[in-house]
Chains A and B, each alone.
Chain A
Amino acid sequence: RKEVEQDPGPFNVPEGATVAFNCTYSNSASQSFFWYRQDCRKEPKLLMSVYSSGNEDGRFTAQLNRASQYISLLIRDSKLSDSATYLCVVNKRAGGFKTIFGAGTRLFVKA
């Protein structure tokens, strides 16, 4: 089983839709959590950090449930420019300092 698992998608949604991505992680030593965005043939870039209290940045909301080892990302009012791959990322300090990436969920937003 992978340490960080995501629904691979792809998700195909119309503009204006709300879409939710889920991610589970298996290592309870995990310390920090992020969502990254990766455009085709580009490097990943930070979308937002994820906190236990939940956090929001404009149309994006991230949630963390440590008890269930579950992370989510909600995108409201989808735009064409949101089309990308969304990566769930977990940092842990166990056997070294490690960053584990999920395989990513591909999102296509259609006009």
Chain B
Amino acid sequence: NAGVTQTPKFQVLKTGQSMTLQCAQDMNHEYMSWYRQDPGMGLRLIHYSVGAGITDQGEVPNGYNVSRSTTEDFPLRLLSAAPSQTSVYFCATASEYYNEQFFGPGTRLTVL
């Protein structure tokens, strides 16, 4: 079992470009979430999903979209990249929102 996988590992974008960060899990968990991690800020929740077809905003949703068409996949879309979105992005999954979360290895994004 791969657990939680994220692609790409690294990405450089120019301001205004769009892209999708991929996240997939094979743990059959209902709860999935996206975080960004910036120095001194800890992880901040961007969006989360409690099951296929259900998504909701976290703490810092602006500039990002998500969808959850299957249990396994939870892609994060950057609509028009900005330098403020330079960060490390982690996808996570849990059997329930209040349980242990399992993280993917992260995507390091730089927006120039």
Give A residues with C-beta under 8 Å from B: 4, 8, 31-32, 34, 42-46, 49, 87, 91, 93, 96-104
Q: Are B98 and A43 in contact (CB under 8 A)?
A: no
Contact B98 A104 (CB under 8 A): no
Which has the most chain B C-beta neighbours within 10 Å: A42, A91, A93, A101?
Answer: A101
Nearest 8 pairs of A and B residues by beta carbon: A43-B103, A97-B97, A103-B42, A101-B43, A32-B98, A91-B98, A101-B42, A46-B100
Question: B100's closest neighbor in chain A, by CB?
Answer: A46
Q: B90 to A99, Cβ gap below 8 A?
A: no
In the complex, number of A-B residue pairs with CB atoms less than 8 Å apart: 58
User: B45 contacts A98, CB within 8 Å?
Assistant: yes
* B99 CB-CB contact with A under 8 Å: yes
Q: In whole angstroms, how far apart are the Cα atoms of A43 and B3 in the complex?
A: 13
Considering only residues 49-84 of chain B, those with a C-beta below 8 Å from chain A are 50, 56-59
Contact across chains for A87 and B42 when beta carbons are under 8 A apart: yes
Q: How large is the interface on B (under 10, 10 to 19, 20 to 34, 35 or more residues)?
A: 20 to 34
B105 cross-chain contacts in A, Cβ below 8 A: 42-43
In the bound complex, CA of A5 to CA of B104 (Å)? 24
Task: List 21 A-B residue pairs with CB atoms under 8 Å apart, sorted by A's residue number.
Answer: A8-B40, A31-B98, A42-B105, A43-B104, A43-B106, A44-B43, A44-B103, A46-B100, A87-B42, A91-B98, A93-B98, A96-B57, A97-B56, A97-B98, A98-B97, A99-B97, A100-B45, A101-B35, A101-B42, A102-B42, A103-B40
Chain B hits for A96, CB < 8 A: 48, 56-58
CB distance from B1 to the nearest CB of A (A): 16
A49: B residues at CB distance < 8 A: 100
- Give the residues in chain B near A99, CB-CB below 8 Å: 33, 45, 48, 97, 101
Closest beta carbon of chain B to A52's beta carbon, Å: 14
Task: Report the separation of the CA atoms of residues A4 and B44 in the bound assembly, to the nearest whole angstrom.
Answer: 11
User: Which residues of chain A are within 8 angstroms of B58 by Cβ–Cβ distance?
Assistant: 96, 98
Q: How far is the CA of A55 from the CA of B92 in the complex (A)?
A: 25
Give the residues in chain B near A100, CB-CB below 8 Å.
Answer: 45, 59
